[in-house]
Amino acid sequence: MNFSKKTLIWGAVAVSALGTQAPAADWFAKDNLQPGHDPTVYRDENGYILMSTNNNLSMWTSPDMVKWTAKGRIFNDSPQWLKDAVGGKTDGIWAPDLFHFNNQYGVFYCGSVFGKRTSAIGVTTNANLDFSNPAQGWTDQGEVTRTTNSNNYNAIDADVVVTPDGQYWMTYGSWNAGGIRLIKLDPKTGKQASDDKTNYQIATRGGSGIEGPSLIEHGGQYFLFTAWDVCCKQGDEIEQTTYKTAMGRADKVNGTYKDRGGKELNSGGGTILMQRYSRYVGPGGGEAFKDLNRIRFVHHYYDLNGDKFNHIHIRDLVFTDDNWPEMGQPFLGRYLSAEAEHGIMTRAVSGDITFNYTKDASNGEYVGYINTKGSKIRLPMNIMQAGDYLLRYRYANGGDAEATHKVTVNGKTQTVKLPVTGAWGTFPEKSVVYIPVTLKRGGNFIEVEPDQNFAELDRIDFLRIIRDTIPTNGFDNGIKVRLTDKDEFAIKEGGYAIFENAVLDSLKDVSEVFLQVKSASSGKIQLREGSKDGTAFMTCDLSNASPADNGWSMAKCTGDMSFKGTKDLYLTVSGVPGETILGNLVFQSRVVCTQEPCGDPASSSSTEPSSAESSSGTTGLDGIAGVAGKPHLLGFSREAGVRFSAPVKYVLADMQGNILRVGYGEHIAAESLNAGVYVLRYAGKAQAIKLK
């Protein structure tokens, strides 16, 4: 459906109120500067495990990818077989890959000597990885493959991928004409499979710099990421580092891989995803890995304005509708935030769009000189909950006249007014405007272009408007949680899930709250503010759940009904045996209406929301216009549709928040809808109705 701007933002809170609220958390980011080269990250249900080069397979763990804790090392020295394979002494253990296969864990690692092809890849395994002590319990299984100087490729930089039908493959390789290789693995041993001994070449630059391959499957296709050119010059030699990240795609794991322009990677092709920008030199040596609800890419870079040495970034890979990945933001502690300096820059003229540094900007950086038409900042973002959002647009306008930017979200453009702020390069709390948008689940692409006069951009935060439903599968991250093969949210005892930047002001006159649940007859689910240990303001008792449709039950929740403000919400679980499946958290002004005639939910003393102009001065946040006599619901069924007593603006949505019908009138056609529960919004109220 295509809706007007007014349609997209019905029921949203007035942005003038948002401007005075305290933010859900610290809006200013700071890079954590975790050191490392050639990193690998494994997602455990308890958090993340990080490994890197030249530390004898040391491990770090983190619940949130921000604070990392050292957890020991697997080896005290290179295994003797590896030393023998490379001529007596290695230059260290390089580029590990931590992977789960055949109900065990494996670390694939390599050793070599700089400038030579006397190299080897080995694997060490562990049947039971303990997140609290992950470096313990490993058994070295020895060699997987090796090369000598007679080979035209190099056995380093291993990375393992699994296909949907359960086959395991390992890519590796470095420089030289033979480039990047691929072999099939035996899932039981981690060694080369006996049923396919082919050593496939899947990418080459004819001897120029290519290494550090990583493979991932997404949408039935395979993506090969490689690092190009010169790595690892740091400190006083940092300017010699030209490392960058390139990519290609194939329909089969063994190729043929082609870049976005159609050129084969075996003929030097590759789409550049990331290269030097701002203070970030040599972003490469990376690995794609699957997280709970998205694909991420971990890599190293060198900080030109800091210590000039190696650090780790973990980014989202954001996929377009035609299944091509773009590099998202490095994770700096917030999932629903975009730092302008990490966008994809298109410059119409040399010198346009500059990186500027100040302690007054988030992460110490902002983007200036957004001056020339044709220049653009593109910000790919993964959004886990579809629906209406406000973009909190932090800018500076030190000029003497209002400026405007063109902001395009998934192809829909708005002109955003940016009033004078009084100074350049400073970004206080008041230096924001709010832009209403509708976002989809998955990849979203925001583009910023100059329009009239000038303004600088620091960051954009994404605020989700909660009207009547929070789908639990729209979580941002969590511990001991997962998505099932049916895209349902599952959580274990002691687990929690994060829902950032929830705007609760649209939840008015809430009298009852229910939680959809499967596979649990006891325990409690709680909503907490600010952290997993924050104040619990809502408790859902699973022991009182009543049977509903399609295997779901509805658990009643009790607590503070005075919802307001912008908050980070944490969903926690206690007393639940095993794992439970959760659906939607539903806020109701009345109980679900199951048959006609249905009472009028609008019969309260609350007034209709009035139209309010946004801080950008471009788009009104209209409430649903009132009609004399307060239109009320006469009745509803799938066959007859929904009928009102008088014409009214309405929105009919499913329980996941997807808008199905929108318009103005006395009747909503419903015969094509499936039987089930829907949310009807009209006359400033929300009501759940059950169509049979």
Please give the Cα distance from 200 to 183 (Å, whole number). 6
Rg for the chain, CA atoms, rounded: 27
Q: List phi, psi (to 5°) of 28.
A: -95, 125
List all residues 6 or more positions away from 637 whose beta carbon is below 8 Å from its beta carbon.
596, 670, 691, 692
**Contact of 307 with 293, CB cutoff 8 Å:** no
Tokens linked to 49: 């495990």
**Contact of 403 with 471, CB cutoff 8 Å:** no
**Residue 373 DSSP class:** B
Residue in 38, 143, 451, 458 annotated catalytic: 38
Strands (E) located in 90-154: 93-101, 104-111, 119-126, 139-147
**Contact of 584 with 403, CB cutoff 8 Å:** no
Is the Cα torsion angle 538, 539, 542, 546 positive or negative in sign? Answer: negative
Site of tokens 């997280």: 291
Supply the DSSP string of 555-579, one letter for each residue: EEEEE-----SEEEEEEEEES--SE
> How far, in whole angstroms, is CA 593 from its chain's centroid?
36
Q: Decide if 211 is catalytic.
A: yes
Helix (H) or strand (E) holding 326: strand 325-330
Please give the Cα distance from 529 to 537 (Å, whole number). 7
**Contact of 33 with 24, CB cutoff 8 Å:** no
Supply the DSSP string of 227-249, one letter for each residue: EES-----GGGGGG---EEEEEE
CB-CB neighbours of 271 under 10 Å: 18
Q: Is the peptide bond before 256 cis (omega within 30 degrees of 0)?
A: yes
Please give the Cα distance from 659 to 636 (Å, whole number). 18
Q: Backbone dihedral region of 135: left (phi > 0), alpha (psi from -120 to 50 degrees) or beta?
A: alpha
Q: Decide if 600 is catalytic.
A: no
Beta bridge partners of 482: 490
Tokens linked to 422: 């009084």
Please give the Cα distance from 272 to 682 (Å, whole number). 49
Q: Backbone dihedral region of 326: left (phi > 0), alpha (psi from -120 to 50 degrees) or beta?
A: beta
List all residues 6 or more positions away from 624 whose beta carbon is below 8 Å from its beta carbon.
10, 11, 608, 609, 648, 649, 650, 681, 682, 683, 684
**Contact of 319 with 332, CB cutoff 8 Å:** no
Q: List phi, psi (to 5°) of 562.
A: -90, 65
**Contact of 640 with 598, CB cutoff 8 Å:** no
Which one, of 311, 254, 318, 257, lies nearest residue 285 by Cα?
311
Tokens linked to 602: 């609008």
**Contact of 122 with 81, CB cutoff 8 Å:** yes
Parallel, antiparallel, or unpaired: how do β-strands 489-503 and 456-465 relate?
parallel
**Contact of 412 with 454, CB cutoff 8 Å:** no
From residue 658, how far is each of 11, 512, 526, 662, 673 by CA, in Å? 14, 21, 25, 11, 13
Half-sphere CA count of 5, side-chain side, radius 13 A: 15
Would you give the end-to-end CA distance of the chain in angstroms?
25
Residue-level length of the chain? 692
Residue in 143, 157, 159, 211 annotated catalytic: 211
**Which residues are part of the catalytic machinery?**
38, 211
